[in-house]
Chain A
Amino acid sequence: MEPLFLLVIICYLLSTIGYFLYLFLQKDYLQKTGFYLLATGFLCHTVELGYRFVQSGQFPVSNLHETLSLVSWTIAGVFLMFQYRYRLKILGIYAAPLITIVMVIAARLPNVPSETQTILKSIWLVVHVVAIFIGEASLALACGAGLLYLLQEHAIKSKHRGFFFKRLPSLELLDHTGYACIVTGFTMMTFGLIMGLIYAKSIWGRFWSWDPKEVWSGITWLLYAALLHQRLTFGWRGRRAAIMAIIGFAVILFTFLGVNFLLKGHHGEFTRM
């Protein structure tokens, strides 16, 4: 493993520890330390990915190792952005470990250099992948906000306040942040899917080819579209919205990994082991 890659993992790991200490001790400097460590890790990670891009001349999604590393990088970036915007400090206890775990799994996988694939040089494809990743990272955070919402709601409803009541923010903030994550995620995902369709048209001459990945992406998209529709028209919020955000993310995980391992299709390359 390259030293830079290791450095990134160490930063993420320390950030995770910082956030967990924050959860228990409730000292603000711990949360800040966690945030800055994560930001440092993200910067190193950016350099690492950029170096890889320049060296191989292709977008680094040619095997599962590279793909997961990119996933981790996107979640980190999106989390830093949301953190900056919404100040939902405690979300770090979800995001930092998630980022770290994905990174550690990536590190354990062999980094098999692949033959240069011309398709990974197309700008359309790069935009398609980046937009979808950012979208899915936001939706991953929405799932985290949803989980925290359920914890806090349970604390309030059951009247046994316990460990989390004091440490988690208000239901309103959790719900609001989750919603913002879903709006961002859905927008980016829609944009990414459209890019994918255009790219498909330019390569294969048709927009849609009933590839399993496409089908499941469509299902995911419809699911979130329904969730947003319900929210906007009937004010679907709180517990139900939180549960839907979690289910939605589970479907994303299946679309992202499950389809590649269990079904076949033209998206297989990027999870090659």
Chain B
Amino acid sequence: MLDIVLLGLNHKTAPVALRECIAISKDETAVALTAFQKLPSIREVMLFSTCNRVEVLMIVQDKTNAVDAVKDFLSELKHIPVSEFEKSLYIHEGDDAVRHVFRVAASLDSMIVGEPQILGQIKEAYQMATTTKTSGVLLNKLLHRTFFVAKRVRTETGIGDNAVSISYAAVELGRKIFGTFEGKKVLLIGAGEMAELAVEHLIRNRAGDILVANRTFETGVDLAMKFKGQAIRFDEIEDALKQVDIIISSTGSPDYVVTRNHVKGIARRRHNRPLFFIDIAVPRDIDPEINRLSNSYVYDIDDLQGIVDENVEDRNKEAIKGERIVDEAVIGFRQWYENLEVIPTIVELRKKVEEIAKGELEKTLQAVKHLSSDDLKAINRMTEAMVNKILHDPTILLKSSGQHQDKSVYLDVTRKLFRLDE
């Protein structure tokens, strides 16, 4: 009988230093798949590698052999001794392997639960396996199930809802203030990864003009080019507040860059249109008192982090629902898998009984020779009918799927009773 085996390491079992050593590029994947295919112990195989995990999923004839072969191959490909990464490896088989694949694809095993990229990465890896023809009936079925489960988890639970990064959280908040970002002007003060990411999110959500203010004007010009915006001088900020709607600030300034008085003075000029300040700097750039002015909202890094923490907690709660969906799917897959074994058993059983009947019939007929051809036909028909009647109930029992918790028990008994394995 074939086994489903999964071997891999991820962010929980291996430090980043090891993961980057083992990470496998696309070209290497193709090479690896072809190499694995040549091994007699491996029937079907696929391989996926992301920055957080490297996993080999395979259908094997001989588990120990296959696992060793894969380890050796990785060691050779990446030039590291097996002993260095062996401890970080996990090896799952059967239901556990199936469950692991489902969980990974549904993003239940991700570093940030619910992040959506992983499913796409698995789809890519599967495509690679189909093009190199290393996937077969079992992997095809398993992966299609996987995609289905991942989709179900995403749509039926809130695992992908709510932002879990600072910049996304800021954008989500902005959505609750402005509804849409269309035509909303953005002012970026200073620079920094998180701040720039937030600007990019806003641009993707069709924000209007981007203004960039930087202490060093040249840096501002460069950044403005990147966002197809306009650079302004640092002392023009106060003036710019009259026209912008969203201010993202991330400077190294020890004092507030925008104070309450700046904002208070311009409310009327702005026709009281709302102002949303996102303050990512430490120490803070935006006077927190501004939050008390009407139609002005200030969120600093701690406020945003608070939102992120809450959202992560929400996602983890939703993940429990996801686990239940995965458990269901594992049972479903097991039933399908066991059915695969049923058909050959029924065929063998029938063959065996038919052979016995045929043999006995021949023996008997050799002794009695006075029968007419009509009599012979009648006896043949009777034998056939007996074989059918005898096999009818056991066949029904074996075929009826899902009624018995563990079908393999029945299969096992049948094979033993009739000595089918000899």
Complex partner residue of A171 from B180, B272, B274, B291, CB under 8 angstroms: B274
Is B295 in contact with A238, judged by CB distance below 8 angstroms?
yes
Q: What are 21 of the A-B contact pairs (CB < 8 Å)?
A: A157-B297, A159-B303, A161-B310, A170-B177, A170-B178, A170-B179, A171-B176, A171-B177, A171-B178, A172-B177, A172-B178, A172-B274, A235-B270, A235-B271, A235-B272, A236-B272, A237-B272, A238-B272, A238-B274, A238-B295, A239-B294
With A156-B173, A238-B294 already in contact, 9 other A-B pairs whose C-beta atoms are closer than 8 Å? A152-B176, A156-B176, A156-B297, A159-B299, A159-B303, A159-B306, A234-B271, A235-B272, A237-B295
Chain B residues positioned under 8 Å from A239 (CB to CB): 294-295
Is A170 in contact with B175, judged by CB distance below 8 angstroms?
yes
Chain A residues positioned under 8 Å from B297 (CB to CB): 156-157
A44 at the interface (CB under 8 A from B): no
When C-beta atoms are compared, the residue in chain A nearest to B269 turns out to be: A235
Interface string of A195-214 (1 = CB under 8 A from B): 00000000000000000000
Complex partner residue of A170 from B176, B306, B310, CB under 8 angstroms: B176
A173 at the interface (CB under 8 A from B): yes
Bound CA–CA A128/B177 (angstroms): 39
Interface string of A136-158 (1 = CB under 8 A from B): 00000000000000001000110
Q: What is the size, in residues, of chain B's interface with A at 8 Å between Cβ atoms? A: 22
A268 at the interface (CB under 8 A from B): no
Is B268 in contact with A234, judged by CB distance below 8 angstroms?
yes
Interface string of A242-271 (1 = CB under 8 A from B): 000000000000000000000000000000
Binding site for A on B (CB under 8 A): 173, 175-180, 268, 270-274, 291, 294-295, 297, 299, 303, 306-307, 310
A240 at the interface (CB under 8 A from B): yes
Chain B residues positioned under 8 Å from A236 (CB to CB): 272
Chain B residues positioned under 8 Å from A240 (CB to CB): 294
Minimum Cβ distance to chain B for residue A135 (Å): 26
SS class of chain B's interface: helix, strand, loop or mixed?
mixed
Chain B residues positioned under 8 Å from A238 (CB to CB): 272, 274, 294-295
Is A172 in contact with B294, judged by CB distance below 8 angstroms?
no
Q: Which of B268, B274, B303 has its CB near the most chain A CB atoms (within 10 A)?
A: B274
When C-beta atoms are compared, the residue in chain B nearest to A172 turns out to be: B179
Is B299 in contact with A165, judged by CB distance below 8 angstroms?
no
Minimum Cβ distance to chain B for residue A173 (Å): 5
Minimum Cβ distance to chain A for residue B369 (Å): 80
Bound CA–CA A168/B175 (angstroms): 11
A97 at the interface (CB under 8 A from B): no
Is A156 in contact with B272, judged by CB distance below 8 angstroms?
no
Minimum Cβ distance to chain B for residue A11 (Å): 31
Bound CA–CA A237/B306 (angstroms): 29
Bound CA–CA A173/B179 (angstroms): 7
Minimum Cβ distance to chain B for residue A226 (Å): 16
Is B273 in contact with A235, judged by CB distance below 8 angstroms?
yes
Bound CA–CA A236/B273 (angstroms): 9
Q: Which of B175, B177, B299 has its CB near the most chain A CB atoms (within 10 A)?
A: B177
